[in-house]
Amino acid sequence: MELVKQIDHDMVAAMKARDTERTSTLRMVKAALKNKEIDKRAPLTDAEAQQVFATMIKQRKDSIEQFQRGNRPELAAKEAREIVLIEGYLPKTIGEEELKKFVEEALAGTSFGPKDMGAAMKAVQAKIQEAGARADGRQLSELVKGKLQLGAGSPEPAASSPEPGAGSQ
Question: In whole angstroms, how far apart are CA 32 and each of 29, 85, 121?
Answer: 5, 15, 27
| In contact, 127 and 94? CB cutoff 8 Å | no
Q: Whole-angstrom Cα distance, residue 166 to residue 6? A: 61
Which of 44, 59, 87 is the last residue before a domain boundary? 87
Is 169 contained in some domain? no
Tell me the average pLDDT across 93-97. Answer: 86
At residue 165 the predicted structure's pLDDT band, cuts being 50, 70 and 90, is very low
Closest C-alpha among 110, 130, 129 to residue 119 = 110
The reply to whether 120 and 152 lie within a common domain is yes
pTM for the full model? 0.67
Asked if 69 and 46 touch (Cβ cutoff 8 Å), the reply is no
CATH for 112: 1.10.10
DSSP per-residue letters across the chain: -HHHHHHHHHHHHHHHTT-HHHHHHHHHHHHHHHHHHHHHTSPPPHHHHHHHHHHHHHHHHHHHHHHHHTT-HHHHHHHHHHHHHHHTTSPPBP-HHHHHHHHHHHHTT----GGGHHHHHHHHHHHHHHTT-B--HHHHHHHHHHHHHHTTTSS-HHHHSPPTTSS--
- Domain hosting 15: range is 2-87
What's the total number of domains in the chain? 2
Q: 57 and 15 in one domain?
A: yes
Backbone φ and ψ for 75, nearest 5 degrees, come out as -75, -35
Q: Which of 34, 68, 87 is the last residue of a domain?
A: 87
pLDDT at 86: 95
Q: What is the mean pLDDT of residues 54-72?
A: 95
**What confidence score (pLDDT) does residue 60 get?**
96
Q: CA-to-CA distance for 67 and 81, rounded, in angstroms?
A: 14
72 and 11 both lie in a single domain: yes
Q: How confident is the model at residue 151 (pLDDT cuts 50, 70, 90)?
A: low
Q: Is residue 131 part of a domain?
A: yes
pLDDT at 95 over 80: yes
- Domain end among 55, 87, 119: 87
Q: Do 7 and 83 lie in a common domain?
A: yes
